[in-house]
A = this chain, B = another copy of it.
Amino acid sequence: MTKVNFETGLNGPEPIALEATCSSDMQKELSDYPLTGRFLMGRLRHAMGDREKEILESSITEVVDFDKGHRLVTRGEKCNHSTMLIEGFALRTIVENGRRYVVGIQVPGDFVDLHAFALKRLDHDLVTLGPAKVGYVPHSRLQDLMNSEPHLSRLFWFSTLLDAAIHRQWTLKLEQLKAYRRVAHLLAEIWYRLEMVGLAHSDGFRTPLTQTDLADMCGTTAIHMNRALRALSREGVAEFRRGNVTVTDRKNFEKHGDFNPTYLYGQGDLYIGAELTRD
């Protein structure tokens, strides 16, 4: 383990360089594959051969930087490429009756609209949370890979199934938990996911999330979200200040959020299909 600096799209006075724990394996991956090195990291990346990693990296035909709030994908519009999130965050949002709802959050390394390859039109928007860097893969290219690379295709499929597993967990937690535990669960999930791609630190993590964003993800109001966050703070469970999440006792924190990471299919959880690791 070694330390490495990273940048998230913060809106603070000056961009604070944070220490993120990042193994040397991970560092090598990121220098070898600067655009797609985080894809499936912490999950089945080890199942990708070097050739497959090269194929994926070279499939990105265009890299673009966006400011916060840019709509990457519009609900109902036809897509001819899919988008790899290289840096920054994105939300899956749906605006109805003048109110915004968030049904998912994506972190670096996520192939955010890979499902648009098969669905062509999405039922939601994808919006950058802070500044973000993305890479595009044309659907024609994915089409070719479907025909010539069955193993890589299976990994793509797997990655969309991870999203589905996360959706199920969100559904579960909305059914099961009150606002206080719901945020705790959400923050625990984001922390875990950032950790898998080397973007968390030992006391927490940083995002450009506002309390309103959290409210829209938890199906509550910004006002009630504020009550929940203050309660978490009052109990000494976690601090959320302007997107900066700080936790002292992680076990305790995850207990408050009723968080069990197996649904994220991390590679340490021995929960993953062995067949996918072999060609």
A120 at the interface (CB under 8 A from B): yes
Residues of B within 8 A of A146 (CB): 150, 153-154
- In the complex the two chains form, is A120's CB within 8 Å of B153's CB? no
Given contacts A172-B103, A174-B175, A176-B219, contact A119 B161 (CB under 8 A): yes
Size class of the contact patch on chain A = 35 or more
- In the complex the two chains form, is B115's CB within 8 Å of A164's CB? yes
Chief secondary structure at chain A's binding surface: helix
Complexed CA–CA distance, A107 and B276 (Å): 28
- In the complex the two chains form, is B170's CB within 8 Å of A160's CB? no
Residues 142-169 of A, flagged 1 when their CB comes within 8 A of B and 0 if not, give 0100110010011001101101110111
Of A64-72, A230-238, A244-252, A266-274, which binds chain B? A266-274
State which of B94, B120, B164, B265 has its C-beta within 8 Å of the C-beta of A163: B164
- In the complex the two chains form, is B150's CB within 8 Å of A92's CB? no
Residues of B within 8 A of A258 (CB): 96
- In the complex the two chains form, is B168's CB within 8 Å of A92's CB? yes
